[in-house]
Amino acid sequence: MRWVLAAAFALAGCPGPGDGSTVDAPVDPQKLGIHLAWATATAIPGAVDNEVTISSARLGLSDVRVIGDAGPGDPRTQLARLVLAWGRGAAPQTYTFVDAPTGLYSRIRFELEADAATPAAYEILGTARINNADVPFRISDTKELDVNVSVKRVMLPPGGDCDLSLTLDFEKVIERVEFEMLPLVDGVRVLDENSPRINDVRKAVRMDLFRKPENEQGS
């Protein structure tokens, strides 16, 4: 049975093509469309709190769809596979749907899913302080999660572009983990799909990982 995740995007503005004074000027097509960007609430690598540091995080996204109000299945706003990875010198690049049709957009859907190149649907690596020692940990799950994210409705104007930016709050996931209770595997504290507490982490991924805009907190 697949989990269904609902969250909300923090959106930047969506400018139009201009004030009309340069309508005949050539337009760079790479700057048009829907720009989908990803960020984290705290830097990775970096400390989440006084006890936990995240060194890297990776999520495998399949069947990514930015959905317009006119219809859910437009292939111009679909992407078969996208891997989000944060680590030393690494962060996800912005992906632009350059052929996105003009219209209102209010949702994005995808699946967190493992594949041959990304063996976990999501994975978080780092260290946790246990008994005054920093011990490596790995949170890794192969369970497929369906994600349906509601966003503030936004207009993509003719000849214009629009920025969608989603912030992931990994601290909300880390808060659900009792690191001292995790088994040691080759010196690493491991929480995976076979762990008794994995459902707590899945709940955090479903409910809290994708941060809501400040004006929608608690809604």
pLDDT of 93 reads: 94
- 166, 149 in Cβ contact below 8 A? yes
The rounded mean pLDDT for the chain is 83
**In 3D, which of 154, 165, 172 has the Cα closest to residue 94?**
165
State whether residue 6 is helix, strand or coil.
coil
Mean pLDDT of 11-28: 41
**Which amino acid appears at position 81 of this protein?**
R
Residue 120, in any domain of the structure: yes
Residue 72 lies in a domain: yes
> Which of these ranges, 95-99, 147-151, 171-175, 188-192, has the smallest mean pLDDT?
147-151
Distance from C-alpha of 64 to C-alpha of 34, rounded to nearest angstrom? 13
Residue range 50-81, pLDDT digits in tens: 999 999 999 999 999 998 887 777 899 999 99
> Would you give the distance in Å from CA 91 to the centre of its chain?
12
N- to C-terminal Cα separation, the chain: 26
How many other C-beta atoms lie within 10 A of the C-beta of residue 40?
19
Whether 68 maps to a domain, the answer reads: yes
Mean pLDDT over residues 146-163, rounded?
84
pLDDT in tens, 175-196: 999 999 999 999 999 999 999 9
Quote the number of domains for the chain. 1
196's tokens: 């008794």
Residue pair 129/177 in contact by the 8 Å Cβ criterion: no
C-alpha–C-alpha distance, residues 67 and 132, integer Å: 48
* DSSP structure class, residue 154: E
Q: Are strands 133-141 and 188-191 parallel, antiparallel or unpaired?
A: parallel
Task: Look up the domain containing 99 and give its range.
Answer: 3-17+30-216
Decide if 154 contacts 162 (C-beta within 8 A): yes
pLDDT band at 198 (very low <50, low <70, confident <90, very high): very high
> Would 24 be classed as within a structural domain?
no
The answer to the question of residue 25 being in a domain is no
Per-residue pLDDT for 43 more than 90? yes
Q: Which residue has the higher pLDDT, 214 or 148?
A: 148
State yes or no: pLDDT of 23 exceeds 80: no
Mean pLDDT comparison of 8-17, 146-155, 189-198, highest-scoring range: 189-198
| Predicted pLDDT of residue 215 | 46
CA-CA distance, 35 to 63, in Å (whole number)? 17
Among 59, 68, 111, 106, CA closest to 87: 59
Residue at 94 is within a domain: yes
206 inside domain: yes
Indicate if the pLDDT at residue 22 is higher than 60.
Answer: no
How distant, in Å, are the alpha carbons of 38, 43, 129, 150, 174 from that of 217?
19, 22, 31, 14, 20
Residue 23 in domain: no
Confidence (pLDDT) at 24: 35
pLDDT band at 48 (very low <50, low <70, confident <90, very high): very high
Q: Residue 155 — pLDDT band, cuts 50, 70, 90? A: confident
Report the distance separating Cα 58 and Cα 122, nearest Å: 6
Average pLDDT over residues 119-129: 97
User: Residue 34 in 3-state DSSP?
Assistant: strand
Name residues whose C-beta falls within 8 Å of residue 93's C-beta, 6 or more positions apart in sequence.
none
